[in-house]
Structure 1
Amino acid sequence: MPAAAPLWDPSQYLRHADHRARPFADLLARVPDLPGRPARIADLGCGPGNVTTLLAARWPTAHITGYDNSPQMLERARADHEGPTPGGGRLDFAAADARTWTPAEPYDLIISNATLQWVPGHPASFPAWVDALAPGGTLAFQVPGNFDSPSHRLMREIAASPRWRERLGGTLRHDGAILTPAGYLGRLTALGCDADVWETTYLHLLQGEDPVLDWVKGTGLRPVLTELGPDADAFVEEYRAALRTAYPAGEHGTVFPFRRVFAVARKAG
């Protein structure tokens, strides 16, 4: 039986909002000027909308739509951010699934922040997304590249243990979740784009008790929490102990290395 779609908790996700927003800001800094006046922008996998607002700061007159398949995330995004923007543009949010989303209109920018790793086979969507870009438009995204780090490896090992494997078999993905940077570069240049692909490992200095666990409760652990429901506490306790060994607290906090892969692909003008 396929695993249930993860249930998202906007408040938990936003507990590390500053750290999570930094890769989006770094991605945005490499996006070139857009052809539209005003620009039309799609934020695919917008979550609670907190980083979508950065698009309005960069392109104040743009019409920006954030797309997500989580009702909880969309409710939070609409409540906090939807409406006219200070520069005369508009920010709205709509339900859409990145696995099946096909642009219904031309866009100057299609951007996605830490979403495509949840979409099996997402590079197959690149041709349709690039086709939907206006001439000179851009497809930009960043995805986590830390699936072999202790935070993810330990989660998979515990899920595969005799206690949990019957309930969690197939719940956590790894192989093929993302391409290598060279793989993304090859796919995007083959579509005729001027592509810039890079990777960065951030060293997040987290505060508080069990901060790495607190981080993954907002993202990578969501499928386990959803699948186990009320029984998740026992899994979390096993996982907590393993994370404390893998990420020991230091004098100034807990260092959490996090690799990410970025791509900015500009369509020919």
Structure 2
Amino acid sequence: MADWSPAAYLRYTDERSRPFGELVARVGHDPASILDLGCGPGHLTPVLRGRWPAASFVGLDASPAMIERARATDPGGRYELADVRDHAAGRGPVREADLVISNATLQWVPGHRELLPALAATARQTFAFSVPGNHDAPSHLLLRGVAAREPYAAAVGPVERRVVGDPADYLEILAGTGWEVDAWETTYTHLLGGEDPVLRWISATGAQPVLHALDAHDAGHGTGLRARFDAELGAALRDAYPSRPYGTPLAFRRVFVVATRRG
């Protein structure tokens, strides 16, 4: 997949940041060191520093563009290019920290549930993460449905349904390996503004693999599939998420886990 766009991702900063603040609020220890897996453009680092100003911090992300943006925004911080799977295997630039935390990243990691015990083992005190649980919401059903039609299907191929666990799934995985686990879910109703806000929302995150494939096809074949796809998906999303005089409501489910070492 092509690299991420920090500017597009940050378009709805407040809405994307709120779950992280609620995750941080449920961490019961005061860590001396923090490792953020999938730190993105560094926009959530102030949340961690605000809660634990004395802690050392390292942010990891697999996107060069995100790491570049984080370093530019926070030149005094430490941000490293690294993959979550490498960290789980002990090959990352930082082996462990008191708090290992991740926001909206693990759903992109193939087989992330199988990696959870290894990821948790790198936390000396607490392992905390949140993942979006909206992959069967109308936004993603329509994304997969439109992408499965021709002429898009030939350019895109099968669109993966990125499955995350329910709170009980994650509790069983981590409690079964000895952690004390707090797991829950929340459905936010975000009020989005502007033209085609739901299309812009998913275009910065969940739709990225599809859009990158269409862009690559257009560049290689001189076609205009991306523009056609945006128009078709945008129309479907407007029907599924009708605009109101006060904005466009978007229901968004999130799953949260805070695992703490016993004793």
Which residue number in structure 1 is paired with residue 221 of structure 2? none
Matched, 1:243 2:237: yes
Specify which of 107, 117, 141 is matched with residue 153 of structure 1.
141
Output the CA distance in 2 between the equivalents of 1:147 and 1:93.
Answer: 29
Output the CA distance in 2 between the equivalents of 1:181 and 1:44.
Answer: 20
Equivalent position SS for 2:50: helix
Which TM-score applies when normalising by structure 2? 0.91
Which residue number in structure 1 is paired with residue 50 of structure 2? 57
Report if aligned partners of 2:33, 2:55 keep a CA contact under 8 Å in 1: yes
Report if aligned partners of 1:67, 1:93 keep a CA contact under 8 Å in 2: yes
Equivalent position SS for 1:101: helix
Give 1:140 shift: 0.4
Which TM-score applies when normalising by structure 1? 0.90
Give 1:123 shift: 1.8
Structure 1 gaps, min length 5: 84-90
Give 1:14 shift: 0.5
1:75-90 aligned at under 5 Å gives the runs 75-83=68-76
Equivalent position SS for 2:187: strand
Output the CA distance in 1 between the equivalents of 2:234 and 2:54.
Answer: 46
Specify which of 4, 11, 18 is matched with residue 8 of structure 1.
4
Q: Which runs of 4+ in 1 moved over 6 A?
A: none
Report if aligned partners of 1:224, 1:232 keep a CA contact under 8 Å in 2: no
Q: What root-mean-square deviation, in Å, do the aligned CA atoms of Structure 1 and Structure 2 show?
A: 1.3
Q: Which amino acid aligns with 2:110?
A: P
Report which stretch shifted further, 216-225 or 249-258: 216-225
Which residue number in structure 2 is paired with residue 112 of structure 1? 102
Report if aligned partners of 2:117, 2:173 keep a CA contact under 8 Å in 1: no
Which residue number in structure 2 is paired with residue 225 of structure 1? 211
Count of matched residue pairs: 251
Specify which of 252, 257, 262 is matched with residue 263 of structure 1.
257
1:129-168 aligned at under 5 Å gives the runs 129-134=119-124, 137-168=125-156
Q: Which amino acid aligns with 2:47?
A: L
Output the CA distance in 2 between the equivalents of 1:234 and 1:123.
Answer: 36
Equivalent position SS for 2:84: coil
Matched, 1:23 2:19: yes
Report which stretch shifted further, 185-194 or 122-131: 122-131
Which residue number in structure 1 is paired with residue 248 of structure 2? 254
CA displacement, residues 157-213 of structure 1 (integer Å, 9 cap, x when unaligned): 01111322222223x3216x2112211110010111110000000000111111111
Which residue number in structure 2 is paired with residue 101 of structure 1? 87
CA displacement, residues 54-97 of structure 1 (integer Å, 9 cap, x when unaligned): 111111011111110111111100000131xxxxxxx3100011
Give 1:120 shift: 1.4
Structure 2 gaps, min length 5: 219-224
- Of all paired residues, the percent bearing the same amino acid is 49
Q: Which amino acid aligns with 1:196?
A: D
Output the CA distance in 2 between the equivalents of 1:100 and 1:174.
Answer: 23
CA displacement, residues 220-247 of structure 1 (integer Å, 9 cap, x when unaligned): 1111121111431111111011001001
Equivalent position SS for 1:194: strand
Report if aligned partners of 2:100, 2:122 keep a CA contact under 8 Å in 1: no
Distance 1:82 1:188, change over 3 A: farther
Report which stretch shifted further, 97-106 or 249-258: 97-106
